[in-house]
Chain A
């Protein structure tokens, strides 16, 4: 934890320099804060496991959130997360159902898992005591 505190005290440029994918793992993980959609995507991909690819992730997000998920949002977010090292993608097999076109397979990296856990913990911490939080259901008015 001392690493985390040290990095946060650094000025902007030095902090960016420490965000080297090849440098200390903990520096990177603790400095990356996910966005809401990024978290949804990582969680959906992690849940799908070996079967995680564009259409399946999109369907999972739409089913869970009951909202439309555009291809633009999906693929640009996948690219962004891959650039951050939170996801790994590759071109998979083609199926007749897809008109013989290949899938873009997605796998959450260990760094992605840590970032998602950080986000989840942060949401849980900040939600503690909120009237809509599950464990305070009895007190909500």
Chain B
């Protein structure tokens, strides 16, 4: 393998897991493959690995069940929040249905909801399918780009449709670094979000489809409870039922 091509192969092999990268790159060096052959081999393996992941349900659920519909809805929520902000602060009127009558209180409510929905959506995408995150990320950006291309916004900055991305990225990051969320935190988030949605709905400031964004929030509660129950089944814990039964004998 030539010195020029080696960094390329090394870079491509980073798409593989650590142990597999070690074995594959070592095999390629030992076989003295050309750069082109080595790249083909590495990309072939990466493609096969990705294809195998898509044989399961979770990547489809993450991409088409959460990322795409959530980002579509959240793009419009981002625009709606931006329009309301422009109207209230700069007195510029942009045609953004269903907003148009909200005051600062409802604007604050929308901002909190936008952050909560996005964060929970990101967390769920990270939880459901960590290894196909790049596809889910592409599905998240697609509605924003479509929105920018389809509708010209005279008064709004170009970054407005992307407002939800930062909390969503933080949600994914939190899931990757700390897989568990405490039941209390999840429950507080879910109850607060639901209460704010009811408040916005009762003030005619919520699109009916936005109710679909509530399920990732309650999914957090369900999984937090599940992980709490699993914690009790850890065999090394001294309060595990096995030890209790043994001590009773």
Contact = CB atoms under 8 A, between A and B. Distances in A.
A55 B48 contact: no
Nearest to B47: A72
B19 A91 contact: yes
B26 interface: yes
Nearest to A99: B29
Contacts of A91: 19, 22-23
A53 B30 CA distance: 12
Chain B residues touching A, range:
20 to 34
B239 interface: no
B44 interface: yes
A71 B15 CA distance: 14
B91 to A, nearest CB: 60
A101 B41 contact: no
B39 to A, nearest CB: 11
A97 interface: yes
Contact of B20 (A58, A73, A75, A103): A75
Contacts of A75: 20, 23-24, 45
A36 B30 CA distance: 26
Interface in B5-31: 19-20, 22-31
A82 to B, nearest CB: 13
B31 A102 contact: no
A107 to B, nearest CB: 15
B49 interface: yes
Contacts of B47: 72
A23 interface: no
A20 interface: no
Given A55-B31, A76-B45, A71 B22 contact: no
Contact of A72 (B26, B30, B41): B41
17 contacts: A53-B23, A53-B27, A54-B23, A54-B26, A59-B31, A71-B28, A73-B48, A75-B23, A76-B49, A91-B22, A94-B26, A98-B27, A99-B25, A101-B25, A102-B19, A103-B27, A104-B23
Interface of B: 19-20, 22-31, 40-42, 44-45, 47-49, 52
Interface of A: 53-55, 58-59, 70-73, 75-76, 91, 94-95, 97-99, 101-104
